[in-house]
Amino acid sequence: MKENIPNIYSFKVKKITGEDQLLSAYRNKVVLIVNTASECGFTPQLGELQQLKDEINNPDFEILGFPTNDFGKQEPLNGDDISSFCEINHGVKFPVFDKIMVRGVHAHPLYQFLSDKKLNTKLSSIPRWNFHKYLINKKGEVEDYFFPFTKPLSSKLKKKVLRLLAHNTTK
């Protein structure tokens, strides 16, 4: 058994309201982290992500959205406008955080961690576009990733989420 495997729990992010949120609030949950944008061809995935959350219907599963303007400047909105867009146009009820950078030297520390195997000890996968998805296990460790063209309701993604939910991490 590996000890001290890096996880997401030490990271702090900003809520859309500007308040800090520690990701340790999601301890013991399976988490799907997605970089989003409101003017992207993949934007309908916002509704599909909410549908995935609703279908799985498990309090131990959470989706976290991180808007970014890194790709084609496809996120012109800020703050409450992002939240309103997601809720009104796609029925999003899962947490959507403040806009961040997800790649390059100015990437948010969370995304530096998610995308670099040297930091997360599991995989390297830098987002190449909006709606890149990282799957986090109940220990807060990076488990897998999915490219933007992998739809949230795909059997591949759903099976992996359900498998992680079924895995008991307590001793």
**Among candidates 134, 137, 109, which has minimal Cα distance to 5?**
137
Element (DSSP H or E) covering residue 163: helix 155-166
CA distance 86 to 17: 15
Instruction: Give the number of C-alpha atoms closer than 13 A to the C-alpha of residue 76, restricted to the C-beta side.
Output: 2
End-to-end CA distance of the chain: 13
Kindly state the tokens that stand for 25.
Answer: 């609030």
Would residue 86 show up in a list of annotated catalytic residues for this protein? no
Please, what is the Cα angle at 117 between 116 and 119, to 5 degrees? Answer: 70
Q: Looking at 40, 46, 63, 100, which residue is catalytic?
A: 40
List residues with catalytic annotation: 40
